[in-house]
């Protein structure tokens, strides 16, 4: 078995054959649905006839090659598992999405972003090879330079509508043991966006190299850029996996130090700040909750339970509270329009904090239409907002969609979307999507991107 492996290629081939046979045996009138232990999607499905496709044997790291600086990974492997396999070699994926249970396949076919994205793009941009189960039942190996290059290029942002990633080979980056953090406060959004652009373009701050950049918006006069720099040594390290809460430290600690692993998962313990909705930021409650439960996947399961059983909605009705809308989105806006978006968001939605993460696509990806080389800011916001009297569910999300595209931005599709069909295919490049869809799923065995991501079938 190669160094760093937790399964072998023989076992992988067996798992591939099992999922291929399972796919072929599914009823023709049932839409396949990949069954995973965890999910980070926030598109709750309507009732529909589906057939579960098990991926339980496709969740391992096959090999870490410290010389070539690559990893062979099964598609349903979580980033937590992958990072644990690569860090002993002083390596990590170029982009490690912020939540532990995001899978590599999910990040490549959907959304994945983090504080290295200002220089390394999105997770799919460090992929060298994809083994894919296509909608017509084939298993193909796609690369940018082979006969399946069209599938390789269209796979990002396809959300399982062209096929499922079974094996992925990615490039890895070198790391150091520690990360030094500097939190820079701004009282003006325009100045914050300008500074973000300058730091990302120069990749330096106060004369030193910058390896990580993200930011946090608390209010119109309280914004922070956080820059991180690798270090061989640290005078101390902070721990935000217990009683202390990372996002709160941004406001009180201009300088901080973390181990590289704790840095990569700094947002997971409290699901950014969303854990407050479950009361676990209250010191007494937090002291009683086992550390192993302070994880984003635990909170996501609680949200799923609430969505299924309507617990919060019933409590709100009982207390005569206004109906609330779920506003859970990540959007990308050109950095020069970032302050405009924040002003709109503050005035029309009023939710805070907001995560700010700069990113730059390294080349053209047809179904993820960001202009290559252009700096965008990803704004992430997740919560419930009371609806104005007389408004229906979708009011805020539609407002956000319109403003993002007015500003020349782009919206990810992991959560609720409300586009009309024609507008959707214009925004998400249907002219590029459909030829690939017809080539690899001519019978429409898989849902198309609109049906899956907007109609949530």
Answer whether 229's CB lies under 8 Å from 211's CB.
Answer: yes
Answer whether 306's CB lies under 8 Å from 278's CB.
Answer: no
Task: Quote the pLDDT of residue 317.
Answer: 63
Judged by average pLDDT, the poorest of 227-231, 250-254, 451-455 is 451-455
At 246, list the tokens.
């990372």
For residues 164 and 360, what is the distance between their CA atoms, to the nearest angstrom? 26
For residues 373 and 356, what is the distance between their CA atoms, to the nearest angstrom? 18
Task: Quote the pLDDT of residue 385.
Answer: 94
Q: Are strands 178-186 and 255-259 parallel, antiparallel or unpaired?
A: antiparallel
Residue 179: phi, psi to the nearest 5?
-130, 125
pLDDT digits (tens, 9 = 90+) for 370-427: 999 999 999 999 999 999 989 999 999 999 999 999 999 999 998 889 999 999 999 9
Answer whether 446's CB lies under 8 Å from 161's CB.
Answer: yes
Q: How confident is the model at residue 2 (pLDDT cuts 50, 70, 90)?
A: very low
Q: Flag whether pLDDT at 116 surpasses 50.
A: yes
Mean pLDDT value of segment 193-204: 98
Task: Quote the pLDDT of residue 42.
Answer: 52
Q: Flag whether pLDDT at 454 surpasses 80.
A: yes
Q: In this predicted model, which residue has the larger pLDDT, 280 or 46?
A: 280
Question: Which residues is 92 bridged to in the sheet?
Answer: 173
Q: Helix 338-348 to helix 189-202 angle, to the nearest 10 degrees?
A: 140
Task: Quote the pLDDT of residue 457.
Answer: 59
Mean pLDDT value of segment 100-119: 94
Which of 94, 118, 192 minimizes the C-alpha distance to 373?
Answer: 118
Q: Flag whether pLDDT at 3 surpasses 70.
A: no
Task: Quote the pLDDT of residue 299.
Answer: 81
Q: Helical H runs in 110-175?
A: 117-120, 149-154
Burial 135-169, CB ≥16 within 10 A → b, else e: bebebbebeeeeebebbbbbbbbbbbbbbbbbbbb
Q: How confident is the model at residue 156 (pLDDT cuts 50, 70, 90)?
A: very high
Judged by average pLDDT, the poorest of 3-7, 73-77, 300-304, 407-411 is 3-7
pLDDT digits (tens, 9 = 90+) for 437-452: 999 999 999 999 999 9
Judged by average pLDDT, the poorest of 52-61, 114-123, 267-276 is 52-61
Answer whether 344's CB lies under 8 Å from 403's CB.
Answer: yes
Q: How confident is the model at residue 5 (pLDDT cuts 50, 70, 90)?
A: very low
Q: Could you tell me the CA-to-CA distances from 67 to 3, 84, 129, 443 in Å, in that order? A: 11, 18, 18, 43
pLDDT digits (tens, 9 = 90+) for 300-353: 888 777 666 665 666 656 666 678 898 999 999 999 999 999 999 999 999 999
For residues 101 and 41, what is the distance between their CA atoms, to the nearest angstrom? 11
Question: Which residues is 134 bridged to in the sheet?
Answer: 163
pLDDT digits (tens, 9 = 90+) for 30-68: 778 777 666 655 555 554 556 678 777 899 999 999 999
Q: Are strands 50-54 and 178-186 parallel, antiparallel or unpaired?
A: unpaired
Judged by average pLDDT, the poorest of 78-82, 268-272, 274-278, 401-405 is 274-278
What pTM was estimated for this model as a whole?
0.92
Q: Flag whether pLDDT at 175 surpasses 50.
A: yes
Average pLDDT, the chain: 91
Portion of the chain with pLDDT greater than 90, in percent: 79
Q: In this predicted model, which residue has the larger pLDDT, 7 or 85?
A: 85
Task: Quote the pLDDT of residue 46.
Answer: 53
3-class secondary structure, 214 = strand
CA 294, 295, 301, 303 torsion-angle sign: positive
Query: Could you give all domains of the chain from N- to C-terminal order, each with its CATH number?
Result: 9-175+437-453 (3.30.465.10), 178-266 (no CATH), 310-418 (3.30.70)
Task: Quote the pLDDT of residue 373.
Answer: 94
Report the chain's terminal Cα–Cα distance, integer Å.
Answer: 42
Q: Are strands 255-259 and 410-411 parallel, antiparallel or unpaired?
A: unpaired
Task: Quote the pLDDT of residue 411.
Answer: 93
């Amino acid at each position: 078995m190669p160094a760093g492996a937790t399964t072998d290629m023989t076992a992988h081939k067996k798992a591939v054959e099992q999922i291929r046979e399972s796919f072929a045996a599914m009823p023709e009138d049932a839409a396949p649905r990949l069954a995973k232990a965890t999910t980070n999607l926030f598109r709750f499905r309507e009732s529909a006839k589906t057939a579960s496709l098990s991926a339980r044997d496709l969740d391992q790291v096959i090999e870490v090659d410290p010389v070539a600086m690559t990893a062979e990974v099964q598609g349903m492997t979580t980033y937590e598992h992958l990072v644990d396999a690569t860090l002993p070699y002083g390596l990590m994926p170029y982009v490690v999405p912020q939540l532990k249970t995001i899978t590599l396949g999910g990040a490549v076919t959907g959304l994945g972003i983090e504080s290295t994205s200002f220089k390394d793009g999105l997770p799919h941009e460090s992929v060298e090879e994809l083994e894919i189960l296509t909608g017509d039942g084939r298993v193909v190996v796609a690369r940018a330079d082979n006969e399946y290059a069209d599938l390789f290029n269209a796979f990002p942002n396809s959300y399982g509508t062209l096929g499922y990633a079974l094996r992925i080979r990615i490039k890895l980056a070198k790391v150091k043991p520690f990360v030094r953090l500097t939190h820079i406060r701004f009282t003006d959004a325009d100045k914050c966006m300008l500074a973000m652009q300058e730091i990302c373009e120069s990749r330096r701050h106060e004369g030193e190299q910058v390896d990580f950049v993200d930011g946090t918006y608390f209010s119109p006069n309280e914004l922070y850029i956080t820059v991180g720099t690798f270090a061989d040594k640290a005078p101390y390290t902070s721990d935000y996996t217990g009683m202390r809460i990372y996002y709160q430290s941004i406001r009180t600690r201009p300088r901080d130090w973390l181990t590289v692993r704790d840095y990569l998962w700094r947002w997971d313990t409290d699901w950014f700040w969303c854990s407050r909705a479950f009361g676990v930021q209250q010191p007494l409650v937090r002291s009683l909750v086992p550390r192993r439960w302070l994880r984003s996947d635990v909170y996501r399961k609680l949200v799923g339970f609430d969505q299924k059983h309507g617990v919060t909605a019933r409590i709100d009705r009982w207390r005569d509270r206004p109906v609330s809308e779920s506003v859970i989105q990540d959007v990308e806006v050109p950095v020069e329009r970032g302050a405009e978006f924040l002003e709109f968001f503050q005035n029309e939605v009023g939710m805070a904090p907001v995560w700010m993460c700069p990113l730059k696509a390294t080349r053209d990806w047809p179904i993820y239409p960001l202009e290559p080389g252009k700096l965008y800011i990803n704004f992430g916001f997740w919560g419930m907002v009371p609806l104005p009297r007389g408004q229906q569910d979708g009011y805020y999300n539609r407002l956000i969609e319109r403003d993002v595209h007015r500003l020349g931005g782009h919206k990810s599709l992991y959560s609720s979307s409300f586009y009309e069909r024609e507008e959707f295919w214009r925004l998400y490049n249907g002219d590029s999507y459909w030829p690939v869809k017809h080539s690899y799923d001519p019978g429409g065995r898989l849902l198309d991107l609109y049906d899956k991501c907007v109609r949530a079938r």
